[in-house]
Structure 1
Amino acid sequence: MTATPSVLFVCVKNGGKSQMAAGLMRAAAGDTVDVHSAGTSPGTAVNALSAEVLLEVGVDITAESPTPIDAQLLRDVDLVVTLGREARIDPDAGVRVENWDTDEPSERGIEGIDRMRLVRDDIAARVTELAARLRG
């Protein structure tokens, strides 16, 4: 029997994209993947629009709160996923890291709830693929 795979999702504030990815992964993988999220410079709350668009698909992150990266967790997880271009981490050798350069609709003039739905859908597609990879 193999250990449960683990993933740490990281963005800057840990209030939007990384929280969305973690919530979507928990929904997609259940207890088959250990899921964590953190920020390189955590904010004070989960982004309200992020939480709202996840509720639309049955995922509730409203009770989550931004947290800083734990150095031990960073070393222990099987995979670290950074979301967006701004989140930068300096992992120890041997830590697997991949970056998701997620859709940024605001660059196309799309804002508000419509922007967050597009971000959610982009992250959800990536999470679905990652969940399958992690579970082998």
Structure 2
Amino acid sequence: MPRADRPTSSPDGAAGADRRPRVLFVCVKNAGKSQMAAALTRHFARERLDVHSAGTQPGRAVNAESATAVATLGATFDGEHPKAIDPAVLRTADRVIIVGSAARLEPIDGMLATIETWHTDEPSTRGIEGSERMQLIRDDIAERCRTLVGEMLHRTQG
């Protein structure tokens, strides 16, 4: 069974009748929030969406606390690592979502989607740190991902 974050369409990302709806999550380092959103979306969508994540300035490794937080809901970062934005994925994504407020992304010619931003909860601004911080961020992102999956799957059935 193919992984949900790998394209099932042609290698260049061309749209086709059998192409699953594609979402790209972006943050600065692609180590925490965008990885959380991708893992949770994969988990909720059960391979019905083509899910990608990337960073505008990719870090060196995924955030272990973020991975632990999503694992409690059954999602996983297994096999993931911070990566740069693939222009082919950016161009062919049906939804492009910046997770958090720090990343900046300009549209490129031929993009299917507009760029939207999820201004996520940041508990550290309230003095909340550690695992409690990660759980609050996870819960915020998880709620948004559940809604996103419903929207994207409803659109393909309509």
- TM-score normalised per structure 2: 0.82
Q: In 2, distance between residues paired with 1:62 and 1:53?
A: 13
**Residues 1-136 of structure 1: pairs in structure 2 closer than 5 A:** 3-92=19-108, 94=111, 95-136=113-154
- Relative CO higher for 1 or 2, CA cutoff 8 Å, sep ≥ 6? 1
Query: Over alpha carbons, which structure has the higher Rg?
Result: 2
Aligned pairs, number: 136
Q: In 2, distance between residues paired with 1:52 and 1:30?
A: 20
Q: What amino acid is the match of 2:129?
A: E
> Greater share of helix residues, 1 or 2?
1
Moved over 4 A (4+): none
Q: What amino acid is the match of 2:40?
A: L
Give RMSD over aligned pairs. 1.3
Q: Shift of residue 3 of structure 1?
A: 3.6
Alignment partner of 1:82: what SS?
strand
Structure 1 stretches of 5 or more lacking a match? none
Identity of aligned residues (%): 51
Alignment partner of 1:32: what SS?
coil
Residues 46 and 62, structure 1, Cα contact 8 Å, conserved in 2: no
